[in-house]
Structure 1
Amino acid sequence: MPRAKGVNSQLALSYESAYGLTPASPLGYNMPFNQSRLAINQNLIHSATICSRRDQLRPAIGNTDIFGSIVVPIDQVGIGFWLQAMFGTPTTTGSGGLYTHIFKGTKRQPSLVLEQQYPDIPAYEMFNGCKVSNFAFAYGGEDELTANIYLIGAKRTVSAAPFASSLTTLELLKFSNFQGSIEESGTQLAIVTEASLIADFGLNGNNYTIGGNGCRTDLPEGILQVSGSITAFFADTVLLYKAVNNTKSSLTFKFTSGAHSLQFFLEEVIFQQTSPGIESDKGIYIHLPFKAFYGTGSGGSTIVTTLVNGYASYAVV
């Protein structure tokens, strides 16, 4: 009897032309990933009907909840597809094998078809109407550099054949922790030991309608909230006083590999007040949570992400 193995599994991605609908001729991509935990939950509803016996009647079924997380490597090519799922088609410039893709917040996020493929069986678990709800990563130390992508979707279909006849395999070129840097107000910080970034896209997942077969009929976007934290040696009071005085600053999280790079620019940031504290006889650290916002920034977005690589276009075909 065959048994599904993770090593043979794949995660396929395509963009929807209309929410919840698989394109007639889908262009699918074989996405690099570390873990994929997309799942369905559908409650069984207790029946309270009395039928002159003590036996429980057949339960009804509730709405379907599609949700889950995907752990992906922060790389030079595949990350662009996830950025497009968050921010829409980027502005792209360049030629001759070096391209700059700029992603900014938009009014509407694209929806995705995502398929967890188990070819050993074979079984193909397709999720429609998926949108990125949260995106988060942390760096510092020597662990593999990954991002957590949390998704909400509309419906699931299981079949014996994939939704796309063939998948485009992407070149895997990973960034590492050692290629990371962080700037505060344009100056590189050499005292930061850890940093994290979280983008919450404010999706409203409560859109179940009569006649919708218990599936979400839409996933409208709310306010984009960007936050995170940095942990640094407590070597001076510069960052501490910026938090004390609510001084507006900026942060740049960047990974660089030769001519290729990935940069998250938060043009307007306020640090939250905290105290360094004295936890031991060793060196003291300061942990500073922050929130990004948009007020007067020239970038026109709470977060501006710039990806420079050899991939020519992320435009949806």
Structure 2
Amino acid sequence: MARAKGVNSQLALAYEKAYGLTPAAPQGYNMPFNQSKLVINQNLINSATIRDCRDQIQPAIGNTDVFGSIVVPIDQVGIGFWLQAMLGTPTTTGSWAPYTHVFKGPKRQLSMVLEQQYPDIPAYEMFNGCKVNNFAFYYGGDNELTANIYIAGAKRTVGARPFASSLSPLPFLKFSNFQGAVEEGGAQLAIVIEASLNVYFGLDGNTYTIDGNGCRTDLPEGILQVSGSIKAFFADTILLHKAVNNTKSSLTFKFTSGTHSLQFFMEEVIFQQTSPGIESDKGIYINLPFKAFYESGSVGSAIVATLVNGHASYAAV
């Protein structure tokens, strides 16, 4: 009897032209991933109807909640498809490789078909109407460089065949922690040992309608919230005073591998006041949470992602 194995499983991605609907001729991509834990939850509602016996009647079926997390490597090509789902189709320049793709926050996010594929059985678990609600990563230390992507969606269908007849493979070239850097105010910080970024998209998941078969009918976007933190050796009081005085600065998180790179630029940032404290007789660190925002910056967005790689286009189909 066949049993599903993670090593043989795949995660397929395609963009939807209309929310919650699988395209007629989808362009599917075989996405690299470490974990994919998309699930569906549907409540069974107990009935309070009284009959002439103590046995409860069949429960009613509640609304469905599609949600879950995906852990992906921060790589040089595949990450662009997630950036497009979050920040819209990029502006791409370059007549030959390397190409430069610039992603900014759109008014409306793209929705996706995501399919967890179990070919050993075979079974194909397709989730429609998926949007990214949260994107987060941490770097520094001696760990694999990955991002956590939190998904909200509309519905789930289980079938015996994949939604796309074939999946386009993607080159797999990873960035790593030691290729990372942090710039503050345009200058590289040599004292940072850890950094984190969290982008929250504020999706409204309460969009169930009477004729929606218990599924979300859309996922309207809310306010884009960008935050994170940097942990650094306490070598001077420059950053500390910027936090004390609410001095506006900028931050860039960047990864570079030869001519390829990925950067997250936050033009307007303020640091939260904290105290380094003295935890031991050894080196002292300072942890500085921050929030990014858009007020008057020239880039016109709280966060801009720039990906330089050999992939010619991320235009959604």
TM-score (norm 1): 0.99
Matches within 5 A, 1:1-317: 1-317=1-317
**Residue identity opposite 1:283 in structure 2:** G
Q: Does 191-200 or 49-58 show the bigger shift? A: 49-58
Q: Distance in 2 between matches of 1:3 and 1:51?
A: 44
Unaligned runs of at least 5 residues, structure 2: none
The Cα offsets for residues 132-179 of structure 1, whole Å up to 9 and x where unpaired, read as: 000000000110000000010000000000000000010000000000
CA distance in 1, matches of 2:295, 2:60: 49
User: Would you identify which runs of 4 or more consecutive aligned residues in structure 1 move more than 4 Å?
Assistant: none
Matched AA of 1:30: N
Give 1:264 shift: 0.2
Secondary structure of the 2:94 match is: strand
1:281 Cα deviation from its structure 2 partner? 1.2
Q: Distance in 2 between matches of 1:285 and 1:103?
A: 33
- SS in structure 1 of the partner of residue 29 of structure 2: strand
SS in 2 for 1:37: strand
Partner-residue secondary structure (3-state), 2:136: strand
Q: 2-side partners of 1:12 and 1:106: how far apart?
A: 24
3-state SS of paired residue (1:95): coil
Give 1:56 shift: 1.6
Residues in 1 aligned to 2:57 and 2:194: alpha-carbon distance in whole angstroms: 55
Partner-residue secondary structure (3-state), 1:81: helix
Distance in 2, Cα, partners of 1:166 & 1:105: 31
Q: TM-score, length-normalised on structure 2?
A: 0.99
Tell me the alpha carbon deviations over residues 94-114 of structure 1, each in whole angstroms, 9 at most, x when there is no partner. 022210000001100000000
Greater shift, 188-197 or 52-61, is seen at 52-61
Q: C-alpha distance in 2, partners of 1:108/1:92?
A: 19
SS at match of 2:148: strand
Separation in 1, partners of 2:282, 2:108: 48
Code of the aligned partner of 2:23: P
Matched to 1:93, the amino acid is T
- Give distance in 1, aligned partners of 2:192 and 2:238: 13
Distance 1:233 1:223 in 2: 33
Q: Deviation digits for residues 12-68 of structure 1, max 9, x if unmatched?
A: 000000000000000100000000000000000001111111112111110000000
> What SS does the corresponding residue of 1:85 show, helix, strand or coil?
helix
